[in-house]
Amino acid sequence: MPQLNPNPWFLIMLLSWLTFSLIIQPKLLSFISTNTPSNKPTMTTHTPSWNWPWT
Tens digits of residue pLDDT in 14-53: 999 999 888 888 888 888 777 777 787 777 788 888 888 8
| Displacement of CA 30 from its chain's centroid (Å) | 17
Q: Which residue has the higher pLDDT, 19 or 7?
A: 19
pLDDT > 60? residue 1 = no
Residue 3 pLDDT = 67
Residue 14 pLDDT = 92
Name 12's Cβ contacts closer than 8 Å, sequence gap at least 6: none
pLDDT confidence bin for 2, thresholds 50/70/90: low
